[in-house]
Amino acid sequence: MSFVIRPSSFFRHLATSVILGASCLHAAPSFVDLRTVMKLAGANNDEIQIARAKHDEAVAESKQAWQRFWPTMSLGAGYRGHDGRLQDIVGNVFNANKQQYNVGTGLMIDWSPGDLYYAALAAKQRALAAEKMAEKARIDIVTQAVERYYDLLSAEATLAIIEDDLRITEDYAKQLEGAVTAGTAFRADLLRVKTQISRAKLAIRQGQEARDLSAAGLAEILRLTPEAELRPAKSDLVPVRIMSGKGVATMISLAHQHRPEMQAASAIHQSMSAEKDRARVAPMIPSVQAGYTVGGFGGGPGVGGQQWGNFGRQQDFYVGLGWKIGPGGLFDRQRQNLADAREESASLQTDQVKAAIGREVVDAATRAQSANDQIKINDEAVDAAEEMTKLAKERQASQVGVVLEYLLAREELTRARQSRVQAVTDFNKAQHALKRAVGK
């Protein structure tokens, strides 16, 4: 009865000696431990890959925004010919035949420094927010996988308790059957025990169903084949104290510092602040247009008097400053109002995330403390039920007690052991939830 409560070297050996990857394709069950589940959940889930792809997209957009500060370069060559009527600048029309060719390169600059700078800052913050949301997706998936693993572990341990109870009850039925044959016990008591055996068998079948459904749920989130028969390492069914020695206020403060949702919300807020500055400050900074081309130019009369060697160096350059007035530029009040509204909305969303994180920490801490207290209460209940079962067995053997008393004691012991398994499961799940809530 103790293997579902305390670590066993046998089950530790099972948890570490069986390799999951190759055995999932076979009919034999695959034993997994908590560490393996966490690694698989963080590596295989497509939701995490989607979040990472969004982060890569945001990073590319941020890099592209900064690249707009670089001038563009062009390189080319051209040929142009003319044959027929032509008009000069005075207005005379005459026949002309000519050709020209050129080759060269140029640098072009078309900057709006303020707009480019604040747009790049906003894109950088959006990339940071996407990175933190990708981390949140990973943590959420790992947490879900841990919860499903503990559900599977609880179902397996509960099933083992019922099977243990069935084995003891069947042994007791054999003893009682011999006593009935010898005439020292009533047949009604034997039938009562057999009824208890049938109930245990029914509970075992229901437990097997619950275990298989839990295994299917775990295989789904780990992105394993649906037919994989996963079995937990029963050595994991011990209270795991991950978060201890910290007050709720301290944990809330840590959560506000470390939770990726909080960091993502802060990055979005800063992005909206950059957009606000972009709407107000950027239009006051003049745009810059500049260019420089260098190359060669040649040509001359065509047809009878072709000239191909009349080729020489040529360069052009220009620079200018300007301000845009109207939509997208100076005095665009609607753009400023829109930026203000978005910045205020981001600030309010940050406050909402902060409040939600605080509530999650309090909820997780409350559940962890409650589950810890329930473990202590269930320990007392298990000890009392074991003692009660022992006394009932002794009383029945000495002809003082009755079979029903022993069966009720056994039923109470089984219920107490199942309750302790559930308390340990709830405690471990609450500890992992508290770790996630704090941002560790």
Domain ranges of the chain: 9-70+112-286+325-438, 79-110+290-322
Which residues, including other chains, have CB under 8 Å from residue 367's CB and lie 6 or more apart? 426, 430, 433, 434
Report pLDDT for 401.
53
The H or E element containing residue 231 is strand 230-232
Q: Which amino acid is at 134?
A: A
Q: How far apart are CA 86 and CA 247, in angstroms?
A: 91
Q: How far apart are CA 437 and CA 361, in angstroms?
A: 5
Report pLDDT for 45.
64
Q: How far apart are CA 378 and CA 424, in angstroms?
A: 10
Q: Is the CATH number of domain 9-70+112-286+325-438 3.40.50.720?
A: no
Report pLDDT for 1.
32
Report pLDDT for 435.
86
Of residues 241, 222, 228, the one with CA closest to residue 145: 222
Of residues 376, 391, 20, 63, the one with CA closest to residue 232: 20
Q: What would the DSSP string read from start to end of 125-181?
A: HHHHHHHHHHHHHHHHHHHHHHHHHHHHHHHHHHHHHHHHHHHHHHHHHHHHHHHHH
Of residues 401, 436, 438, the one with CA closest to residue 139: 436
- Token pair recorded at residue 132: 């933190």
Q: How far apart are CA 135 and CA 142, in angstroms?
A: 11
List strands edge to edge, sheet with 311-322. Answer: 72-87, 93-111, 287-301, 311-322
Which residue numbers in the chain have pLDDT < 50? Answer: 1-26, 400
**Residues paired with 289 in a beta bridge:** 110, 320
What SS3 state is found at 367?
helix
Question: Which region, left, alpha or beta, applies to residue 107 given φ > 0 means left and ψ of -120 to 50 means alpha?
Answer: beta
